[in-house]
Amino acid sequence: MRPASHWQWRLVAAIAAKEWRDRLRNRWVLAVAVVFGAFALLIAYFGGAQSGVLGLRSAAVTVASLTSLAIYLVPLIALLLGFDAVVGERERGVLDLLLSQPITRAELLLGKYLGLAAALAMATLVGFGAALVPLAPSMDLTALAIYLRFVGSALMLGLAFLSLAVLVSTVARDRTRATGAAIALWFGFVLVFDLSLLGVLVATAGSHASTWAPYVLLLNPADVFRAINVFGADALRSSFGLGTLTAQGWNAAATLYGVLLAWIVAPLGAALWRFR
Amino acid sequence: MNAVVVEIKGVVKRYGATPVVDGIGFSCGEGEMVGLAGHNGAGKSTLFKMMLGIIAADAGDILLFGEPVRGRRFREVRRAIGYLPEHVALYDNLSGLETLRFFARLKSADPAGCKDLLERVGLAGAMHRAVREYSKGMRQRLGFAQALLGEPRLLLLDEPTNGLDPEAIHDFYDQLQQLKNAGTTILLSSHLLAEIQSRVDRLVIMASGKLVATGTVAALAAASGLPAGLALTPREGARERVKGALLAAGLVPLDAPDGTVHAIVAKPHRMTLLRVLAGLSGDLQEYTLTEPTLEDVFLHHQRGTTWVERAA
């Protein structure tokens, strides 16, 4: 017979199912899907308005615009989704009751993450997927692949920030602090990081930048996401001024996806360790 | 004696340098109902959380069903425990039935039994309503139903009658009695010693994290040995006769401002008192004898020392 303390996926599933159902029921999934879908369509149709053009543009250009938007939006939504996963339960007083059940802390935390991740995945796939319906007829296979790559990497970006949010939630002493930490993370990764890097590049006049700057970008999941979607489109690299930031070797897609995956796994691992 | 279900030895929990639970030890046998009494902040809830393994003890041992709570068989141990936390909080967005089904899954209890449980705690009519709409008392009942999932052999109830009206409290203790008769061990806490003292088999009294006293209510009352207070209302002109009779019996009479004659009656004088009163029956309008409650003995006079220490 297996020892009773063996890992039990059944319990992980029970916790995940509750989180998932909660997000469906309070229409979180629907609301986020609508936001994603609406933005995708708006950008596809009106993204060229500033250059005096209306209507659908090439998938590469659309995805480049969508990428810039998703970098702000997706981390924010993921952080808001996950920051009170643990600390919120503690503050409401439910955590003690959960922890008194025949479940390990790791099972509880992973269940919460997976349930929230499923909700985020559903919203991302449905939202950007729905936008594909009007867009698809004007897309060829290459364009479709570019778009799908965008959706997939946006999902990974969201999961990475959800992972960070859950870590914040296990560390923060109360909900207020968790909110502050989540907002700080968003500012840090989405705004401050790139500005600082740009500042350093300008200050050093970009000397030897190609030897270190690309690696620094890997320290930011948002930049990895950008790299996946922008570097992939050769034609856009120069127009985004990223030509000089392309180091040899690491812009291979596998490395970028690997790093993004690490950004999903590592904070979650730290959260599991912290919550023991 | 029955099998030992709860065994607590020398348990200590500190937050910083302050001990919240300071060397507590006691045990509960199968089918026993034990009351854990103490003021708010006495360390009762912390002790419960350590018993459940939610927080770790800094020192000492806690064995439930002979197993360490945080040991390898923690799942079996916890499955056999029903816990009702103090200030029970549940999910506002779920209905009563959904709440129970969720916890039933976590506890590997049969979800088919959830409706019966809700009926048992008097929530059958509200099972499909969101917990958000529940009153404090209804939440407490739902919390109790949750604790009964999976037919636990040990119930840990932290201030279980919080928010219940007197009738509900009565029903609640009736249910506990049935569970106890069926062999369930029950440890329940209260800051109202008076409420539980007549309902439990044994009391464990805590103050400032320390064990103050433990035993049956009768034994504690006897051990406390506190004197009773006597107040006599003499008839017109009989005051001096009454006082003289008290003096003759070895009691010290005191004139109270309300015109009554007071005396402190220590344990050995209880029976003498009967004779004195019988002799004075023509001189008295009224008499009252005030017994100290256990609450007076153990909880109201905590001034840095425990009752046991003061008595020594």
Average pLDDT over residues A128-153: 87
Report the percent of chain B where pLDDT is more than 90: 47
First CA to last CA distance, chain A: 26
CA distance A206 to A198: 9
How is residue A101 annotated by DSSP?
A: S
Inspect the interface and report whether the beta carbons of A96 and B49 lie closer than 8 Å.
yes
Q: Say which range, A2-11, A29-38, A190-199, B50-59, has the weakest mean pLDDT.
A: A2-11
pLDDT tier, B303 (very low <50, low <70, confident <90, very high otherwise): very low
Quick one: pLDDT at residue A76?
Answer: 95
Q: Residue B268 carries which DSSP code?
A: G
pLDDT average, residue stretch B124-139: 93
pLDDT above 70 covers a percentage of chain B that reads 94
**Over residues B202-211, mean pLDDT:** 89
Cβ A100–B146 below 8 Å, yes or no?
no
Q: A-B interface: how many C-beta pairs under 8 angstroms? A: 62
In the predicted structure, residue A84 carries a pLDDT above the cut 60: yes
**Token reading at B28:** 């509960």
Contact A78, A168 (CB under 8 A): no
Question: Does B188 or A203 have the greater pLDDT score?
Answer: B188
Q: Work out the number of other CB atoms within 10 angstroms of the CB of residue B302.
A: 17
* Per-residue model confidence (pLDDT) at position A209: 67
Q: What is the mean pLDDT of chain B?
A: 87
Strand order from edge to edge, sheet including B185-190 = B81-84, B154-157, B185-190, B33-37, B202-207, B210-215
Asked if pLDDT for residue B306 goes beyond 60, the answer is no
Q: How distant is the alpha carbon of residue B259 from its chain centre? A: 38
User: Chain B interface, mutation test: which of A9, A12, A27, A101, most B Cβ atoms within 10 Å?
Assistant: A101
Interface ipTM: 0.85
Q: Give residue-wise pLDDT tens across range A152-197.
A: 999 999 999 999 999 999 999 999 999 999 999 999 999 999 888 8
What pLDDT is recorded for position B220? 81
- Sorting pLDDT into bands at 50, 70 and 90, what band is A53? low
pLDDT at A210: 67
pLDDT at B308: 42
Match 């994290």 to its residue by tokens: B209
pLDDT band at B10 (very low <50, low <70, confident <90, very high): very high
Among candidate residues B143, B134, B129, B135, the one with its CA nearest the CA of residue B100: B143
How large is the average pLDDT for residues A137-147?
Answer: 85
Report the CATH number of the B4-215 domain.
3.40.50.300
**Residue A55, by phi and psi: left (phi above 0), alpha (psi -120 to 50) or beta?**
left
Q: Are A258 and A250 in contact (CB under 8 A)?
A: no
Shortest distance between the Cα of A101 and any Cα of chain B, in A, equals: 6
**φ, ψ dihedrals at A43, nearest 5°:** -70, -40
User: How high is the pLDDT of residue A199?
Assistant: 86
pLDDT at residue A243, rounded to an integer: 47
> DSSP secondary structure string, A137-197?
GG--HHHHHHHHHHHHHHHHHHHHHHHHHHHHHHH-SSHHHHHHHHHHHHIIIIIIHHHHH
* pLDDT at residue B307 greater than cutoff 50: no
Is the CB of residue B64 less than 8 Å from the CB of residue B9? Answer: no
The CATH homologous superfamily to which domain B227-291 belongs is: ACT domain (3.30.70.260)
Domain boundaries, chain A: 7-275
- pLDDT given at position B302: 56
Domain boundaries for CATH 3.40.50.300 within chain B: 4-215
Cβ atoms within 10 Å, residue A248: 8
Give the pLDDT band of residue B165 (cuts 50, 70, 90): confident
Which of A110-114, A251-255, B27-31 is least confident? A251-255
At residue B196, does pLDDT exceed 60? yes
pLDDT per residue as tens digits for the range A256-272: 899 999 999 999 999 99
pTM of the model: 0.85
Structure tokens at B129: 């309503």
Q: How far is B125 from chain A (nearest CA, A)?
A: 23
Query: How close B95 gets to chain A, by Cα (Å)?
Result: 12
pLDDT higher than threshold 50 for residue A3: no
**Mean pLDDT across the stretch A236-247?**
47
Put simply, the answer to whether B74 touches A4 (Cβ < 8 Å) is yes
Q: Residue A4 above 60 pLDDT?
A: no
Q: Mean pLDDT in chain A?
A: 85
Segment holding A15, helix H or strand E? helix A9-25
Residue B293 confidence class, pLDDT cut points 50, 70, 90: confident
For tokens 């959830």, name the residue: B114
Taking the CA atoms of chain B, what radius of gyration do you get in angstroms? 24
Q: A94: pLDDT confidence band, cut at 50, 70 and 90? A: very high
Supply the DSSP string of B162-228, one letter for each residue: TT--HHHHHHHHHHHHHHHHTT-EEEEEES-HHHHHTT-SEEEEEETTEEEEEE-HHHHHHHH-PPE
Q: Residue A124: what pLDDT?
A: 95
Q: How far apart are CA B211 and CA B12, in angstroms?
A: 11
Task: Assess A100–B contact: CB distance below 8 Å, yes or no.
Answer: yes
pLDDT for residue A238: 46
- Which residues on chain B place their C-beta less than 8 Å from a C-beta of chain A? 49, 52, 54, 72-76, 78-79, 81, 83, 85, 87-91, 93, 102-103, 105-108, 146
CB atoms A11 and B90 under 8 Å:
no
pLDDT given at position B299: 64
Strand partners, B290: B229
